Structure 1
Amino acid sequence: MNASSVWHTPGHADRYRERVYAERARLAAEHTDLPGTQRRVLADLLEFNSGTEFGRQHGFGRIRTMDEFRAAVPVRDYAAHAPLIERTAAGERGLLTADAPEVYFTSSGSTGAHKKVPVTPRFMSTTFMPFYYAAWAPLIEHFPEVLQRPDAVLNLKHDPLTALPTTGDGRPHVGASQVDFGARFGEPLSAEPGTGAPWAVLLVPTDPGDHLERAYLRLRLAVQSEVRCLIGINPAMIAAVPHQLNLWWPRIVKEVRDGTLGGLPYGAPDPERAARLERLADYFGTVRPAHVWPRLRALFCWTTGVASLYLPALREEFGGDVTALPAPVAASEGPTGVALDRHGSAGSLVASASVYEFVPADEDLLADSTTLLPHEIEAGQDYHVIFSHVGGFYRYAVGDVVSVVDRVGGVPRVEYAGRGVRSDVAGERLRDAQVVRALHTALRSGGLGLRNVACRVEPETDDIRRYVFAIAPRTPWRPHETARFTAELDRALATESAGYGHARAAGQLGRPAVRLLDTEAFTRDWQTAVGTGIRPTQVKDRLFRQDEALWRRLTGAGGG
């Protein structure tokens, strides 16, 4: 039975709710002994994978403590794991894990290159599934109506394929949202909310690479349902919805009236619904999701990083009573934190998923970096994340930075703070999190809002460079507001980064500049990127954009 069908079986919603709550309770119970849980995770991955090539090379059979593990295995990134992953994908076995991968998740790294993330049955049962189920608990607990009907949720990331690309060993190489966990891993309850909706499996032929047409077809069907929640994970996908509704509105209304989908007959014509939809545009002048789905109550996506700058205003597009719930702090390679309550940004460390280590974010990550364990990290500080788990990633530097918000039951609660990359042309060593915090400060100082932002370094003179910020304002900024914002941003960056302050004082960096774009510049840029064939889940907000062609594409959309 596929993911779409299970939501139509009697009692499925009740069974799903019970499983979600049970996994949340199990993760919460592990908080009573975080060090003990971490020791058990380490012992398990060492025993299970001791006979692999990697395990033999690094003496897994002799390791008993965390200190011994750190001494035996250097901190490693994807590139260091890649040779064994590529050999595994070509058909060799017993290299990183004792069990063979069933699928490979695809993930775009900071360079945009596609990774192959091996996904084994043991990884799914011990690392992935518990946090994956628990992540939905706050949504279904506080917004139970999302389970009352299969079409109550518009799941933007769900994108099943009929023809799956494969690696050399014949295993699928796809996004996590394109895997049927029920069929592959015996988890029929794992089908997410919204995967039983009429638009979950499109019944008209489409090019698998035409992601914009597929997005259109889903919206076309969803406007005829009473949607209560949108799931995007990647917030840029949710930010695109208001733009897409207006872009495609005439076509949507016509197809509702005619009873077609993608120009083909689909269901009965609905002229009454079409007339109501048409009146929305006539009355309001622009179509907002709140007009189309007036009973919508929740968004589920990442709420931190760049998204924290625009999500409050975006949420209003969907309705004044809409709540944004945070998606897990996780990568394709594994989870870090999952929200077990209604906290707006942070999730508790998933103690039984991986062995976690941390390095202060201002330090360089090196193979022999001194690491901190979960009980040693401090609230209010940013850290690089390193994890090890039974799925074959060992002391893996995932490339993300998290900020520790607080502790609940002795367990750190963390939020995503940005990528671990830095922008550094004059010793400023700016990180995503520092720039985002500085932007928040500068926006608050003038009561301004934005729809999105990106920045890059450009020459100011032959000897001095400066940061240029491309900003799509929420409402028009007056020249004096822009000047004040720029000055406040300069001060805030110096406060966040001592290196930036020193570079400015020494005349090595010029005063930042602001280039105002039109309000839709970033959503058009997102549409353009998806139109090139990139899956929507992988077209994410990127703060630092040094690529000349991509910068020109973005800033060429509007005035300067």
Structure 2
Amino acid sequence: MTGDRETYRRGLVADKYRLARALHHAGDWQERVRTGLLAENADTVFGSAHDFTRLRTMDDYRAAVPLRTYADYEPWIDRAAAGEPGILTAEEPRLFFTTSGSTGARKRVPVTSRFLTTTYLPFFRAAMGVPAEYFPEVITRPAATLNLRHDRLARPATTGSGRHSLGPSQADMGRAFGVALREPGGDAPWAELPVPVDDSAYLDKLYLRVRMAAEHDVRCVIGHNPALIAMLPVLLAQWWPRLLRDLHDGTYLGAPGGTPNPSRAAELERQAAYAGRPTPAVIWPRIRLLYCWASGVASLYLPRLRELYGTGVTVLPTPAAASEGPVGVPLDRHPTAGPLAVSTALYEFVEAGHDIRADSPTLLHHELEAGRDYHVVFSHIGGLYRYVLGDLVHVVDHVHGVPRVEYAGRNTLSDAAGERLREFHLVRALRATALRAGLDIGNATCRVEPGTGTPGYAVAAALHPEPLPGELPALAQALDRELGRLSHGYRAARARGALAAPVVRPVAPEAFARHWHRRVAAGMRPPEVKDQILQPDPAAWKLLLGE
């Protein structure tokens, strides 16, 4: 079995280098992807409606197929989910990926064998090739990795045609498609829970995996969503008495089934007392890798959070991607970004400052500029054509002429008075302001409030160290200047008095933990609860402020 895992690890590394070589011929690959998806799906209902057989050039494709969001695609996807053949893809979907629904209703994405082998699998394996190369035991030793997003379901939801509808991390690709696709930690001892737990008991399932992992030498923690990695130290403190009791007695949530381990319980109790609190570094002192998104809101708190996982811990970024398809795939140790996966999907982009319309002009990969932000539009053989992802990316630099991109945030627009702020404006302004003030931000969220009649931005932030009362006005003024520097619309709105000065409201770190628990209690799986730099929920805002 060890030899099989080493072979699998080497295969992941080889796939990483295969995708890296494709960057040298990005234009050829983009043309190949476009012609391939048109030929493969020409006879589908969608392909016939858009004359796929007549489209010869990229300009033909742009003219025939408008830019569309998920809402535009939903009627076609619903027909495919109901079992009607040949709607978006020539092949029938084997299952449907679901999105987290953190910014709206859950989406369903058809998954065919061709999508898996030409789009999803090359991207996924290449991404896994980075930790496989630099941290081999993450792949070769199952108990080395605690994968917080791994959450197999006993009874997955199904579509009207009986196909499974579930998140990518919940799907058993080997069983569904017969392919070698294992996430690190997917075959750890805690991959199968030791006692029966209802599928919707999300925190109990997470607790059981952590409780089992506490008896092993974990070297890597995977979250993809960094909010879950940020919550693990909080959850450990909440679970600590129960975890020690379960370890001592050999129980799981108080139920028998394990081997009593009083020496391990006593050891952890001593280490936590010495450290002052239980942390991941206390339980697993040899953690070397955190694998998660590293840009967006996470860039505010990851530097300080990393300390709770131990000294010398590396953070490697997971890809800029979504259930709908891949975007950027890190292929080296870059801390936040990776080049476009040019051999897996066809990419177009729209300037971030523009609103997307069905006929918006688009840029191709070689037309992007470093330091700029863009809406992502992609097409792939899985049945999404000129699909507006709803995410923005920031071009960090270029690798062999291919943009290296990091996730910049959702394309949500905040526009109370013509300021047209995107998520990335707020994140970057907060990061720069806190850095200059010598403060760390544990987390932050923003909301437009009416004030004395003129709307203005309020920022709820967990700050460390706690600022003195006199520092808050200066902090708000610095934030105001930084937002004005980053956004012409904000600067103009402030100049004409249409927007009030921002205010900064310090909150305890526990406030964000309470908000996280509230969202899980409302039905979201822990891996799906994402940071919100723009807070849409008035009740959540009041909870965060302690009102």
TM-score scaled by length of structure 2 = 0.98
Q: How far, CA to CA, are the matches of 1:321 and 1:490 in structure 2? A: 36
Displacement after TM superposition at 1:140 (Å): 1.9
The answer as to whether partners of 1:210 and 1:531 remain within 8 angstroms in 2 is no
Q: How many residues align?
A: 547
Q: Does 1:54 align with 2:46?
A: yes
Q: Deviations over 1:296-340 (max 9, x none)?
A: 000000000000000110111101200110000101000001000
- Where does residue 162 of structure 2 map in the other structure? 170
Q: How far, CA to CA, are the matches of 1:196 and 1:538 in structure 2? A: 21
The answer as to whether partners of 1:450 and 1:475 remain within 8 angstroms in 2 is no
- Report matched runs for 1:131-150 at 5 Å: 131-150=123-142
Which of 472, 477, 499 aligns to 1:487? It is 477
Letter in 2 for 1:540: K
Displacement after TM superposition at 1:10 (Å): 4.3
Q: Does 1:534 align with 2:524?
A: yes
Kindly report structure 1 stretches of 4+ aligned residues shifted beyond 4 Å: none
Unaligned runs of 5+ in 2: none
Displacement after TM superposition at 1:530 (Å): 1.3
Q: How far, CA to CA, are the matches of 1:214 and 1:478 in structure 2? A: 41
Q: Does 1:20 align with 2:12?
A: yes
Specify whether residues 148 and 122 from structure 1 end up closer, same or farther in structure 2 by C-alpha distance, changes over 3 A only.
closer
- Report matched runs for 1:72-471 at 5 Å: 72-109=64-101, 111-187=103-179, 189-462=180-453, 464-471=454-461
The SS at the match of 1:320 is coil
Displacement after TM superposition at 1:110 (Å): 5.8
Displacement after TM superposition at 1:537 (Å): 2.0
Displacement after TM superposition at 1:553 (Å): 2.6
Identity of aligned residues (%): 52
The SS at the match of 1:170 is coil
Q: Does 1:520 align with 2:524?
A: no
Displacement after TM superposition at 1:219 (Å): 1.2
Displacement after TM superposition at 1:109 (Å): 4.4
Displacement after TM superposition at 1:81 (Å): 0.5
Q: Deviations over 1:139-193 (max 9, x none)?
A: 1211123234211000001100121110101001101111001111111x31111
The answer as to whether partners of 1:455 and 1:543 remain within 8 angstroms in 2 is yes
Q: How far, CA to CA, are the matches of 1:127 and 1:27 in structure 2? A: 11
- Where does residue 549 of structure 1 map in the other structure? 539
Displacement after TM superposition at 1:483 (Å): 2.0
Q: Deviations over 1:180-213 (max 9, x none)?
A: 01111111x3111111112111020111111111
Displacement after TM superposition at 1:551 (Å): 1.7
Letter in 2 for 1:527: H
Q: How far, CA to CA, are the matches of 2:273 and 2:354 in structure 1? A: 55
Letter in 2 for 1:357: E
Q: How far, CA to CA, are the matches of 1:110 and 1:196 in structure 2? A: 28
Letter in 2 for 1:126: T
Q: Deviations over 1:41-62 (max 9, x none)?
A: 0000000000001101101000
The answer as to whether partners of 1:235 and 1:301 remain within 8 angstroms in 2 is yes
Displacement after TM superposition at 1:251 (Å): 0.4
The SS at the match of 1:415 is strand
The SS at the match of 1:40 is helix
Q: How far, CA to CA, are the matches of 1:213 and 1:354 in structure 2? A: 38
Q: How far, CA to CA, are the matches of 2:102 and 2:249 in structure 1? A: 45
Q: Deviations over 1:442-488 (max 9, x none)?
A: 111111011100000111113x0110101112331111222221111
Q: How far, CA to CA, are the matches of 2:527 and 2:344 in structure 1? A: 23
Q: Deviations over 1:99-126 (max 9, x none)?
A: 0111111113464201111111110000
Q: How far, CA to CA, are the matches of 1:333 and 1:133 in structure 2? A: 17
Q: How far, CA to CA, are the matches of 2:261 and 2:273 in structure 1? A: 19
The answer as to whether partners of 1:430 and 1:497 remain within 8 angstroms in 2 is yes
Letter in 1 for 2:43: G
- Where does residue 6 of structure 1 map in the other structure? none
Q: How far, CA to CA, are the matches of 1:352 and 1:468 in structure 2? A: 43
Q: How far, CA to CA, are the matches of 1:487 and 1:219 in structure 2? A: 43
Letter in 2 for 1:543: I
Q: How far, CA to CA, are the matches of 2:102 and 2:142 in structure 1? A: 36
Q: How far, CA to CA, are the matches of 1:282 and 1:398 in structure 2? A: 47
The SS at the match of 1:454 is strand
Displacement after TM superposition at 1:91 (Å): 1.3
Letter in 1 for 2:522: T
The answer as to whether partners of 2:247 and 2:260 remain within 8 angstroms in 1 is yes
Letter in 2 for 1:82: E
Q: How far, CA to CA, are the matches of 2:272 and 2:101 in structure 1? A: 40
Q: How far, CA to CA, are the matches of 1:149 and 1:392 in structure 2? A: 37
Specify whether residues 132 and 67 from structure 1 end up closer, same or farther in structure 2 by C-alpha distance, changes over 3 A only.
same
The answer as to whether partners of 1:146 and 1:229 remain within 8 angstroms in 2 is yes
Q: Deviations over 1:53-86 (max 9, x none)?
A: 1101101000011110000000000011110001
Unaligned runs of 5+ in 1: 1-8
Q: How far, CA to CA, are the matches of 2:496 and 2:403 in structure 1? A: 39
Range with bigger deviation, 473-482 or 349-358: 473-482
Q: How far, CA to CA, are the matches of 2:269 and 2:74 in structure 1? A: 53
Specify whether residues 236 and 110 from structure 1 end up closer, same or farther in structure 2 by C-alpha distance, changes over 3 A only.
closer
The answer as to whether partners of 2:219 and 2:286 remain within 8 angstroms in 1 is yes
The SS at the match of 1:11 is helix
Q: How far, CA to CA, are the matches of 1:325 and 1:71 in structure 2? A: 40
Q: Deviations over 1:320-374 (max 9, x none)?
A: 2001100001010000010000000001100111110001100110100000000
Q: How far, CA to CA, are the matches of 2:501 and 2:149 in structure 1? A: 40
Q: How far, CA to CA, are the matches of 1:538 and 1:369 in structure 2? A: 31
Q: How far, CA to CA, are the matches of 1:532 and 1:169 in structure 2? A: 28
